[in-house]
Structure 1
Amino acid sequence: MQLHTHTWGAGDRVALLIHGMMADHRTWRRVGPALAGRGYRVIAVDLRGHGASGRGEYGPELFADDVVETLPTGADLALGHSLGGLALSLAAARLKPKRAVFSDPAWHLAGPAEDLGAEVFARFKSAPREQIRAMNPRWEEADVDVELETLALWDESTALSLAPLLGTDLLPAAPVVPSLVQLADPSFLISPERAALLEERGFEVRSVAGAGHTIHRDDFDGFMASLEGWVPPL
């Protein structure tokens, strides 16, 4: 499936952004312009079932196939958050970015995710502003607005499609390209033990102190600081 995309900048470098469950390209409203300011042409997708992209069957391999079909190969940087991190890991060998960043990737669907179940995440589609604000006290009000707008367009069946994977360990055996794993503090998807295992497998792992799962909205400055050495400085 060809996905809807949004582009910031016109630099010589190319950066790809892949959002997480419930979101769309607007989750990157600060990251896209920031990377464009560092010389990138930034291309962000709406995954199937999200934003302005099409609907259909859902599953990690399908998300990854769409990303490969839509985005250019050989980008200088590819960055995926949560579900987007899982999709990127499944697409990396075909996308062939020079570098990859996995922001709190959905590589181990256990803990709170497993306890709550996919149905609870699907019901989050109708979450009111007050609930979103209470769950994300560090977000700017514009991010709460974006969350409400993206939830309205989101097909909650995408969450139900992940139910068979709850409790499954999806950690990659090795990085396909030089890779940074950026973790929330604490991460409910990647435990300290699994973080250590990722380091043993050749990933660089960094945590953003005190940040929640959506690191780039919870602590934008910390998010960008954690990319030092992976993106050019201003």
Structure 2
Amino acid sequence: MLIWGSGDRVALLVHGMRGAASQYHAVGPALAARGYRAVAIDLPGHGDAPRAPDATMELFVDAVLAAVDTPPALAIGHSLGAIVLSHALPRLRASRVVYVDVPFSGPSTDPPAPAAELRERFTTSRAARTVERLAPRPGWSAEDCRVEAEAAARFDVETAVALERSYIGQSVERPAVPSLVVRADPSRYVSPERARELEEMGFWVRTVPGAGHSVWYGHLDEFMGVLDEWLEAT
């Protein structure tokens, strides 16, 4: 867990698959400068959190709920972290929620992928996330590359396999609290059509031009600008 700032106005930050709390190394201080106590957590099998070879979405939700002692004024989830956050929300009781580059696909009727296939996929993707391979990404700083490579090295494949095989997706409903979806441009996960569908459901949807899946890497000012605009409007 990483914490920036102090006080009772909490901003909870939840990372994505193969990530860690450290992916918010620039967002956390930016939120602290805005008066929040920014709390970034490590999900099971990530960062400093213990492995969970029998992981379920419920276990990931419990990790989120255990991280804060008061309902957050703001909660931000990236990719997998956004999905976990959406499941935690009824008990977390966050006042506002930001989901970063996640499509919120509905429940799947397909059988889960074989464990061996998932294991190979996660192992391959983990091995590819080295500083040298991440460095050419447009806009990424040396620190972005370092924290992502370190997080990948600590990522537990078996936890991810168990989660993937146990989770079938969720139905997406009109948000119960002000909710923002921030998408990359172009986005592999939130197409323009899906963005319109989410807006029709009641989500605010904003795009950061030129950003990749980790939207604030190389585009921190633009990301925080979108966040500020939305917070002022809601």
- Bucket of the pairwise TM-score, normalised by the shorter protein: 0.7 to 0.9
Query: d(CA) in 1 for partners of 2:173 and 2:123?
Result: 30
| Change in CA separation of 1:51 and 1:99 when aligned onto 2, cut-off 3 Å | same
Unpaired segments ≥5 residues, structure 1: none
Cα displacement (A) at 1:23: 1.0
2:102 to 102, 105, 119: 105
User: Does the CA contact (< 8 Å) of 1:72 and 1:95 recur in 2?
Assistant: no
User: Does the CA contact (< 8 Å) of 2:184 and 2:208 recur in 1?
Assistant: yes
RMSD: 2.4
Which residue matches 2:67? Answer: 70
Opposite residue 210 of structure 1, the aligned amino acid is G
Which residue matches 2:151? Answer: 150
Unpaired segments ≥5 residues, structure 2: none
1:16 is aligned to 2:12: yes
Query: What SS class does the counterpart of residue 49 from structure 1 fall into?
Result: coil
Which residue matches 1:131? Answer: 133
Cα displacement (A) at 1:216: 1.4
What per-residue deviation string (whole Å, max 9, x for no partner) do you get for residues 169-217 of structure 1? 6462121211001111122122222211111111100011111000011
Opposite residue 176 of structure 1, the aligned amino acid is A
User: Does the CA contact (< 8 Å) of 2:45 and 2:160 recur in 1?
Assistant: no
1:96 is aligned to 2:98: no
2:42 to 28, 43, 46: 46
Query: What SS class does the counterpart of residue 182 from structure 1 fall into?
Result: strand
Query: d(CA) in 2 for partners of 1:199 and 1:163?
Result: 27
Query: d(CA) in 2 for partners of 1:200 and 1:178?
Result: 14
User: Does the CA contact (< 8 Å) of 1:108 and 1:190 recur in 2?
Assistant: no
What per-residue deviation string (whole Å, max 9, x for no partner) do you get for residues 41-70 of structure 1? 111100000011111122333211221133
What per-residue deviation string (whole Å, max 9, x for no partner) do you get for residues 51-108 of structure 1? 1111112233321122113323421100000111000000111100110000112623
Query: d(CA) in 2 for partners of 1:174 and 1:68?
Result: 22
Cα displacement (A) at 1:15: 0.6
Which residue matches 2:178? Answer: 178
Opposite residue 132 of structure 2, the aligned amino acid is E
| Change in CA separation of 1:11 and 1:229 when aligned onto 2, cut-off 3 Å | farther
User: Does the CA contact (< 8 Å) of 2:11 and 2:72 recur in 1?
Assistant: yes
